[in-house]
Amino acid sequence: MKKLNVTYSNANRVESTRGARSRKDGILRRYMNKKYLFIMFLPVFLYYFIFHYAPMYGVMIAFKDYQFLQGAFRSPWVGFAHFNELFHTEYFWTVLKNTLIINGYKLLFGFPAPIAMALLLNEVMQPVFKKVVQTISYIPHFLSWVVLSGLVIEFLSPSRGPINMVITLLGGEPIFFVADENWFRSILVATEIWKHVGFNTIIYLAAIAGINPEMYEAAKVDGISRLQAMRYITLPSIAPVIIIMLILSSGSIINDDFEQVFNLLNVKVMDVGDVLSTYTYSEGLVRMNYSYAAAVGLFKNVVALAIVLTVNAIARRIRKDSAIF
Amino acid sequence: MKQTAFTDKLVIVFAYTILSLLGLSSLLPLMQVITLSMSPSEVINSYSFHFIPLKFDFKGYATVLANENLWRAYGNTLLRTALGVSLTIVLTFCAAYPLTKKDLPHRTFWTAFVVLTMFFSGGLIPLYLLIKSLGLMDSIWALVLPPAINTFMVMVVRNFIAELPESLEESAKIDGANDIVILFRIVIPLSLPIIATVGLYSGVYHWNAWFDSMIYIQDGKKHVLQFVLRKIILLGNTAEFEMTGQNQNVTDVESIKMATLVVSIIPLLLVYPFLQKYFVKGSLMGAVKG
């Protein structure tokens, strides 16, 4: 302690003869010089503090036995009891498995889909066709899952839907898709891709537009085919964008699309369709097991953060310019 | 050489086919719903492709448009969207502008303070308990305050402002303008395209949101459109319509559902051409520089 003091005063003496007080004034003066910027920033600070940092503090109820009347602060600590319960609940493992399977397939098929679509759009020579396809395929992106679930349920309806009409025409039995355990996950994956594929091409089309056209011209002289141009020019040129997008979406393997699953979920498919976010909702807000649900949520957030950091670290090792931090 | 020409043609045929199918897959379900919404019950209940309306019956629309609850929900959504969007635009600029200033004291810290929230959050339950303890339950503020700032958008706006020529601000400073005056008189007028982008993102968000209305709002009269829509379409809860005294049967319920769906997406379809142009531009700004 004493040694520390000495170093501190020494440093002060070297830096300035006016002592620590004026250094503090220095910081204050620097802030005063920018007071208008900080007046502007004040509501922003309050917003982040209240709606982002305060709830982070609120995760402590995952380690407490939250009693409504006592509030988050005075409820008794229980340590890792909720996590213990969590990992010993069989249904939690079902939910975790559903989450990983559904989101794994969403990532596996959903991530390359807009890249493929952008490559195909790039092959289209007629600007009108290109524009029409883009305009139409963006529409689902702007509609809520409430509306889209209505569309999906109507379209897949066993008694009225055109899909089942085709099945019966071909001599099959109508399938109640959204209430069928064998189909439910596929529907989640397919509709998620369907909603976002068009809109997500924007980013890749922008990257493709930035490629130097001389590369294509030189390749054409060499007699390169369209497929080869895709493989050797377009894809490598947009690789940095692809990697950044992959890092950003890697966390989604555990962060599910609550609105989609919740709107399509029904009692018949709980065992294959209940995911972490819907489980958090039903445990926390329906059954009011606040602490237990907070533990589920905390588990999910920590895993998501770990995944993003890991993928980012891998990306940095492979290509320095691809990592986002 | 000839081989190449053949595969090239194959690639083009493939591209046109797949893209046409993709386009149709977005268009057809929408057409189906629009057609069903204006068809009589015998058409609705028959197995078929309903992409173009042939027989007309607007009973579903008559019921929906006569329903007071739905109009109130519409109003609530409009109010929420207007309030939410204005709040978001103002706060996003208040966050982004100071962070562009290189001489802002502890700029790295303040940037980290904002950016960190993109990667970690308390989760649903702590936020719910917070809203409850702040006394925001049953209030429109519970719907517009928590999503008031989107951190990713702050970064996009910050990058946009940073690209503006510095000399403009310097000359204003020489004329005696302070930072707040500069923001409103110089930066904001130059940022109209990015303001439109932020406004559109937040507008679509608020128009489509329903979950917060479900958990924070208990008073039935304060619910937003998407939440009422959800009750009608997904939970088949048309009890609200039965109060209008009309004779209901199962098929009417279907046409009511479809009509409600269409009524809720009409505003979006109306602004869509405008929306699309700006969204594409705005997303590019985020993509290229972000």
- Sign, CA torsion B253/B237/B261/A282: negative
What average pLDDT score do residues A196-225 get? 90
pLDDT tens string B80-122: 999 999 999 999 999 999 999 888 888 899 999 998 898 888 8
Mutation choice for A interface testing from B2, B32, B125 by most A CBs within 10 A: B125
pLDDT tens string A131-157: 999 999 999 999 999 999 999 998 898
What average pLDDT score do residues A186-204 get? 94
Nearest CB neighbour to B25, from listed A40, A121, A194? A194
| A138·B279 Cβ contact <8 A | yes
pLDDT classification of A5: cutoffs 50, 70, 90: very low
Percent of chain B with pLDDT over 90: 38
Q: Is the pLDDT of residue B19 over 80?
A: yes
B250 CA to chain A: closest CA distance, Å?
Answer: 13
User: Is the ipTM value over 0.90, yes or no?
Assistant: no
Q: Is the pLDDT of residue B183 over 80?
A: yes
Q: CB atoms < 10 A from the CB of B3, how many?
A: 8
pLDDT classification of A9: cutoffs 50, 70, 90: very low
Q: What is the mean pLDDT of chain B?
A: 85
Task: Output the pLDDT for position A111.
Answer: 96
pLDDT tens string A222-254: 888 888 899 999 999 999 889 888 888 888 898
DSSP H stretches of helix in chain A: 2-15, 20-33, 35-48, 54-58, 71-74, 81-87, 90-110, 112-123, 127-142, 145-155, 162-169, 181-209, 213-221, 226-229, 235-250, 258-264, 270-273, 276-281, 290-318
pLDDT tens string A103-132: 999 999 999 999 999 999 999 989 999 999
Task: Output the pLDDT for position A81.
Answer: 87
| B94·A129 Cβ contact <8 A | no
| B45·A159 Cβ contact <8 A | yes
A10 CA to chain B: closest CA distance, Å?
Answer: 25
- Sign, CA torsion A59/A60/A64/A67: negative
Task: Output the pLDDT for position B255.
Answer: 83
Partners of residue B150 in chain A, C-beta under 8 Å? none
| A48·B114 Cβ contact <8 A | yes
Percent of chain A with pLDDT over 70: 91
Q: Assign residue B149 a region (left: φ > 0; alpha: ψ between -120 and 50; beta: otherwise).
A: beta
pLDDT classification of B285: cutoffs 50, 70, 90: low
Q: Is the pLDDT of residue B210 over 90?
A: yes
Question: What does R_g of chain A's alpha carbons equal in angstroms?
Answer: 27
pLDDT classification of A12: cutoffs 50, 70, 90: very low
Structure tokens that stand for A284 in this block:
């926390």
Q: Which of helix, strand or coil describes residue A64?
A: strand
Better pLDDT: B18 or A66: B18
Task: Output the pLDDT for position A24.
Answer: 63
pLDDT tens string B132-141: 989 999 999 9
Tell me the one-letter amino acid at A144: S
Task: Name the residue of chain B whose CA is nearest to A306's CA.
Answer: B119
B48 CA to chain A: closest CA distance, Å?
Answer: 6
A-B contacts (CB, under 8 Å): 261
| A57·B122 Cβ contact <8 A | yes
What average pLDDT score do residues B201-213 get? 93
pTM exceeding 0.80: yes
Task: Output the pLDDT for position B289.
Answer: 44
pLDDT classification of B290: cutoffs 50, 70, 90: very low
Partners of residue A308 in chain B, C-beta under 8 Å? 119
Cross-strand partners of A77: A64
